[in-house]
Amino acid sequence: MKKTPTRLADGRELIYYDSRDDAVRTAVDRRPLPHVEITTQTRYDPLRDQHVAVTAHRQSRTYHPPADACPLCPTRDGRSGEIPDDGYEVAVFENRFPSFAGGRGRCEVVCFTDDHEASFASLTEERAALVLAAWTDRTAELSRLPGVAQVYCFENRGAEIGVTLAHPHGQIYAYPFVTPHTADALRALAAHRARTGENLFDTVLARERAEGTRVVLETDHWTAFVPHAARWPYEVHLYPRRRVADLTGLDDAARAGFPGVYLELLRRFDRVFGPDQPPTPYIAGWHQAPTGRRDDAARADFALHLELFTIRRASGKLKHLAGSESGMGAFINDVSPEAAARRLREVASA
């Protein structure tokens, strides 16, 4: 992999990731970019023991532009965007409308391909491996920044999810705090360790593998399963067999095996509701331990894993977060985890 850092016209960092060592990236961003006044605040809610980002400047971010004005497409045919080169493999840049910035976290955009009509599921295994390399590199770099407590690499896919740019891309949030999801997991880990002397992630993975009814896909290095208490209609968790704290800890065998497993899962998600349905909307994200400046014991106990889920519960029907979920955080799932796992096995590639 070759990594080529450069700067956009307003000073934001842009990094090209190429599979070839002889790739040359010399294009210059010459856009007269207007100034964006970033007004990010992080506020603490003592009743919930949670942080909330207040980002009024994001109201003016790009919203569903036509394909010929996509800011994530390469610069060619008389149009320019965030990527000044006329073609690229994988590109990462600082978000122009970040949720976190100014020494209190950072937000980046990850473009998986320069093909506007593609999707992650349509990528080759080689390109998926390059994306994994970019995620890993950014995790390492962002984890070293002062003020960063946790790094989350994720993709929102589909207008139903709330995606405002159709180009295949994801994001990386370097949070200035440990997220509620992770804080809850760390408390559960500590309690389980104190009670049993064992690691809770290891216990859950071993139970799912032994029972087998919710396992969707398994290889020598990865296990994908629908969790016993899944919150979403179709939800899959993907774990490496060897527990590591974050993406930087994956060994060569796990890295080599990831593209085939992940692409297969995404393609099954697109088939799960039948051939006449539009692409399945989903959220996929890497859950990683807090950064190395945090509690070393918590990092040692945490298990890197990817969570993939869709808000579609049936053909033409979405799972809306209504009163119980939005108001009280108590999820009610319309699809049994066992049925979801069975369906995801049924739609395996031939």
Show Cβ contacts of residue 104 under 8 Å, excluding neighbours closer than 6 positions.
40, 42, 147, 176
Q: Are 310 and 231 in contact (CB under 8 A)?
A: no
Q: In what order do the strands lie in the sheet with 305-310?
A: 2-7, 13-18, 90-94, 106-111, 169-175, 150-157, 282-287, 305-310, 234-240, 222-225, 215-218
Question: Catalytic site residue 192?
Answer: no
Show Cβ contacts of residue 124 under 8 Å, excluding neighbours closer than 6 positions.
none
User: Would you put residue 103 in left (φ > 0), alpha (ψ -120 to 50) or beta?
Assistant: left
Helices (H) and strands (E) in the chain, counts: 7, 15
Q: Given 167, 169, 221, 287, which residue is catalytic?
A: 169
Q: Are 224 and 261 in contact (CB under 8 A)?
A: yes
Annotated catalytic residues are: 169
